[in-house]
Homo-oligomer: A and B are copies of this chain.
Amino acid sequence: MNPELGFEEFQTGALVAETLNQLEVEYQTGVGKTGIVARLGNGNGPKIGIRADMDALPILEANDVPYKSTVPGKMHACGHDAHTTMLLGAAMLLKDKEFDGEIRLLFQPSEERSDENNISGAPAMISDGAVEELDAVIALHVLGMFDTGMINISDGFILANTDTIEAKIIGKGGHGAAPHMAIDPIFVAAPVISAIHGIVSRRVDPNKPAVITIGRISGGTVSNVIPGEVEFSITLRSFDDDVRELLIQETINAFEIAKNMGADCEVDVQRGYPATYNDPEVASWIRETAIDLVGEENVISRGPSMGGEDFGYMSRASKGAMFNVGVRVPGGPDRFLHHPEFDLDEDALPIGAAVLAETAMRFIEGKFK
């Protein structure tokens, strides 16, 4: 009910701290700006991290429920409040265990938002040392397309490199009846668009998933005036690093076509999160644990999506894996992330907490082959 945007998780962090105090778990604040790190165990032995993100989205909630956002224009539409709750639940389950090793609880800020240096919560925590010495790091994300009680865990790349390009084709405005006195950027846009949409189909290994979407095109205001510019907003998704670079470079090249048609271009590449790679070994720990907790029939492996997550940074800094916890009320509607009517079934909270805690504990105890 008190959603806060990235790097502004002041009340949320205070609630986390207060809860950890009640649980008598030690913690450190200010890790990655507004992040919190708590440590369990004596530190002498294997070390595993559990990460949950805490931030909300700038969306006006459209649900009419008692626990609706009280802050107009902000909403936990990506379920990070549930993630934080489940990590606190894992803390409850684990706090009285004594063991050789460390289970590190990573309450991460700002998964959705990057600061002025293009740094989001995960790299901010990493640069403050939050994942140092960890043998592995695990995380979860709620998903409203699966019923409560289901766990989805896959090997390999599960979420994509997510880059953004803002670009312009710059022509020369003029009267629509005298095209020869102008350079029409809308005309130039057509081959550029066709070239961009051939990058995935012609330049990328067909066995390496990739997506380029032009989500926005905008130029001109009226029928009889040739505008000076057309603007584009583009998202680029990939798994492999070499594909990532290819998509960026070839999109830049496609805009350079403008220069062969009398126009010019500006291309601004905004690198986003790296792909999240689920280490097969870590994923197998989660799968094995989940099968024991929710039953084999409820553990699925849906493979990759082209979505993005800043957990990709953590799964590069350490071995890692992320799984999904189903949060759809069985029989209820699908609940889409980032939608103003996103909601989740709270019955999923103890399930997520249990899978996190039990996977970490089994790892510490050396129970995985």
Contacts and interface: CB of A to CB of B under 8 A. Distances in A.
B215 A224 contact: yes
Main secondary structure of the interface of A (DSSP, over half): mixed
A227 to B, nearest CB: 7
Interface string A225-247: 11100100111010000000000
B216 A219 contact: yes
Contacts of A199: 201
A253 B187 CA distance: 15
Contacts of A227: 215-216
A231 to B, nearest CB: 10
Nearest to A193: B190
A226 B197 CA distance: 14
A297 interface: no
Given A202-B197, A213-B176, A213-B179, A223 B164 contact: yes
A217 B219 contact: yes
A218 interface: yes
Contacts of A129: none
Interface size class of A (residues with CB under 8 A): 35 or more
Interface string A251-274: 001101100111000000000000
Nearest to A166: B223
Contacts of A195: 191, 257, 260-261
Interface of A: 160, 162, 164-166, 175-180, 184, 186-187, 189-195, 197-207, 209-227, 230, 233-235, 237, 250, 253-254, 256-257, 260-262, 303-308
Pick the 9 closest A-B CB pairs, nearest first. Answer: A191-B191, A176-B213, A216-B220, A177-B306, A190-B193, A223-B233, A200-B201, A194-B194, A224-B235
